[in-house]
Structure 1
């Protein structure tokens, strides 16, 4: 402050060299500067940091490498969490502060009015049927903010900054919650909107961009449903087994990961 479970910490499995090194420190610094990265970028950073600091590198040990960092972060009530991008289903990683909510922490970076604009945007996204809200609607809301109104030009700049810092994602003039935001704010959203949000019936994590069964009412991520129905001749609901009338998107293929070769 957009799908393994979206809010679970990366597992800390034993490494051949289970020691926190400068490679781990540089990886953490790079993640902090970016807010969140997809798996391909995380894998590239893993390789670059290990090669730069001459640390044992194995391409298939990214989660174990991050696990070493998480053990160092535990006393600070922080951890790197792995989640899924809501639209594509691709894996991403974000640094999460567990001691306070992201909304509380944002107060040091945003003015009271700017933070109110973010809360209003999140509110509209959560209440929407498809998990998006138009930029036009949010610019109109800026005139009603408290403790003071915000000019539309200023609101545009704040929304742009929220996208750059990966609290929001923007697509064709509409905003949704970024994967980083969902990882940080899942419990906040569930507690503040208990009757308005739900968890995916398939992966059991918070779902914002959802598809809903018209028969039994369960909600799923589109990419979770796509994996569920890929072997079916006709798509059906994973709960009531009735025909699924909504369009199920094709599975999105992630970019190629770095080679699995090892180096020292």
Structure 2
């Protein structure tokens, strides 16, 4: 049976395509805006149902709007994922071969680390060992800047991490390539890089830091959910998204841009 999308669905899809990835509160604001503009029935808790209808339309195209959690702040994000391409080749149209190799080596460093990070020094040193074509330091820095700008990597205080978009879009690739190194969070069951680990050698489960904040909230004697050993790590505070009642300028701008592209 053919799926019929209304203009509100099309506008939302165009906006998320324009943004690449949207934080949950912004996605809800865009959803509300699209429904109001095109007089589509709206309720505060209907975003996932709204997206399910769009995904029914996208399914034959091997695409999907997927929801995931940020390892950094624990907030929900939405991104458009190409299901037909499950590896790094999806970036080949935007990056040269040596730039893709640099990204792969950066990913190797991040996955192989204990805390899900790679120092800028280690990443820059990778440029000297590229098999495709070596890069100078300035060229490497420019590529890394693009990868951050395109939301494949995050950078903070000289440390690189895999972005929420990267983990969500390349989950299957990461699990296939790094199957012996990658663990899932014991709470949310998504890939865990930036996390806390059980100190029991026979256990060793990982929990995302935001998941640990929620799971251990108010517990005076935190225990590992798998082996019940004492959880020795500092319990972080829960971070929440600010309430969004109106469209923020970046989201409003993205909606305007997506509309103008549709009208050309």
Correspondence 1:123-138 to 2 at 5 A: 123-138=108-123
* Equivalent-residue separation in structure 2 for 1:63 and 1:129 (angstroms): 34
* Equivalent-residue separation in structure 2 for 1:217 and 1:114 (angstroms): 34
- Residue in structure 1 matching 2:56, options 66, 71, 76: 71
Runs of 4+ in 1 over 4 A off after TM superposition: none
Instruction: Give me the CA root mean square deviation.
Output: 1.5
Q: TM-score, normalised by structure 1?
A: 0.87
Greater relative CO (CA pairs within 8 A, separation 6+): 1
Maintained 8 Å contact 1:117/1:142:
yes
Q: CA deviation at 1:97?
A: 0.6
Match of 2:171 in 1: 186
* Equivalent-residue separation in structure 1 for 2:82 and 2:122 (angstroms): 31
- Residue in structure 2 matching 1:231, options 210, 213, 218: 218
- Residue in structure 1 matching 2:10, options 21, 25, 32: 25
Match of 1:218 in 2: 205
Unmatched tracts of structure 2, length 5 or more: 247-264
* Equivalent-residue separation in structure 2 for 1:103 and 1:253 (angstroms): 32
How many residue pairs are counted as aligned between the two chains?
A: 242
Maintained 8 Å contact 1:80/1:95:
yes
* Equivalent-residue separation in structure 2 for 1:70 and 1:258 (angstroms): 26
Correspondence 1:18-57 to 2 at 5 A: 19-57=4-42
* Equivalent-residue separation in structure 1 for 2:146 and 2:32 (angstroms): 30
Maintained 8 Å contact 1:59/1:258:
no
Per-residue CA deviations over 1:154-190 (Å, capped at 9, x if unaligned) read 1111111111111111111111111111111111111
Q: TM-score, normalised by structure 2?
A: 0.87
* Equivalent-residue separation in structure 1 for 2:48 and 2:244 (angstroms): 14
Unmatched tracts of structure 1, length 5 or more: 1-17, 260-264
Secondary structure, aligned partner of 1:63: helix
Match of 1:146 in 2: 131
* Equivalent-residue separation in structure 1 for 2:47 and 2:4 (angstroms): 14
* Equivalent-residue separation in structure 2 for 1:105 and 1:146 (angstroms): 20
User: Is 1:158 paired with 2:116?
Assistant: no
